[in-house]
Amino acid sequence: MACIFSTLSSNTLRFALSSFPNTNLQPPSSHIFFSRPLTFKGLSVNPKNLPAPLKASMAGTNNVVIEVFEQEDLAVSLAKYVADLSNKFTSERGAFTVCLSGGSLIKYLGKLLEPPYVDSLEWSKWHVFWLDERVVSKTHEDSNYKLALDGLLCKVPIPLDNVHAINDTLSAEGAADDYETRLRELVNKNVITLSPNSGFPKFDLVLLGMGPDGHVASLFPEHPLVQENKRWVAFIKDSPKPPPERITFTFPVINASAYAALVVTGKGKADAVHSVLGKSQNSVKLPAGLVSPEGELKWFLDKDAASKL
């Protein structure tokens, strides 16, 4: 069987050419259509060379990169990616604004706590935010803040004033309003920039996970908040996933970012990954497919999550 080889990190994956019918393009880029160039580990494909019937959920992103790894290699690559962006933005503008999610993301950021990064990054210039948060006490096991604090933030010298957690004494609505107010104050202080294209806050990097249902942050499939286009921070009281009360950045904020990364692992996510990146017949556009930053979007997939592509 004819195969094409794509070297990803320390792995070599084999893609059967018969898996990509009706095209002479080199996979895996051949099964995804974008309005702008797609890069797959150094391979750049011009959209005009792609067959018209092939589509993907994402649109408008300047550049999309998809990488598939063994789990250990994923963590190594993710750490380098974050470190490189930290160095870029701290050098260019004296600050690095990064937005975290919950779930397994913090575990995969663990390599930042090892040499060479733990001693070389300018942690004092980091400003940390949360894409979404559960409306619970900061000490509660469901708190994304606690997850990040225990797994990362308490182990690096980021100033306390640069860690921007929600006010956990307020209601969901009050916490969302308060968080948006604080973001606007940081815009006024030039800590956060505004996108000249949309007028929404432009974070340097947003780090997203994805649920098995394709949700990102606390933006769930077919939920009205997916369509919210005015608020920076919204609240939800009927989350399909417990706990029910949360706050979340809206898509205009997520998509105003300079860089966005989706870190997705496990066989339980394979169907949703296929729905977003593959030739799915799913008529429902999953939230993960709506992530479209102004700069680069990068997918970090393990082999299990990518198994249906």
In whole angstroms, give the CA distance from residue 39 to residue 67. 10
The pLDDT, as a whole number, for residue 45 is 35
The pLDDT, as a whole number, for residue 96 is 98
Sign of the CA dihedral running 25, 31, 33, 37: negative
Q: Could you tell me where the DSSP H helices lie in the chain? A: 71-93, 105-108, 117-120, 144-151, 172-188, 251-254, 270-277
pTM over 0.85: no
Cα dist. 147→33, 130, 234 in Å? 36, 11, 21
Q: What is the pLDDT of residues 68-88, one digit of tens each?
A: 998 789 999 999 999 999 999
Question: Tokens in use for 80?
Answer: 């380098």
Q: Which regions in the chain score pLDDT beneath 70? A: 1-62, 279-284
Domain boundaries, the chain: 83-306
CATH top class, domain 83-306: alpha beta
Sign of the CA dihedral running 254, 259, 104, 285: positive
Contact (Cβ atoms closer than 8 angstroms) between residue 1 and residue 18: yes
The pLDDT, as a whole number, for residue 282 is 53
The pLDDT, as a whole number, for residue 208 is 98
User: What is residue 51's DSSP assignment?
Assistant: -
In whole angstroms, give the CA distance from residue 151 to residue 143. 12
Contact (Cβ atoms closer than 8 angstroms) between residue 306 and residue 68: yes
Q: Which long-range contacts (C-beta less than 8 Å, at least 24 apart) are formed by 101-105?
A: 101/130, 101/131, 101/132, 101/144, 101/207, 101/208, 101/209, 101/216, 101/217, 102/132, 102/134, 102/144, 102/147, 102/209, 103/209, 103/211, 104/209, 104/263, 104/265, 105/207, 105/208, 105/209, 105/263
The pLDDT, as a whole number, for residue 248 is 98
The pLDDT, as a whole number, for residue 72 is 83
Q: What is the pLDDT of residues 43-56, one digit of tens each?
A: 333 333 333 322 33
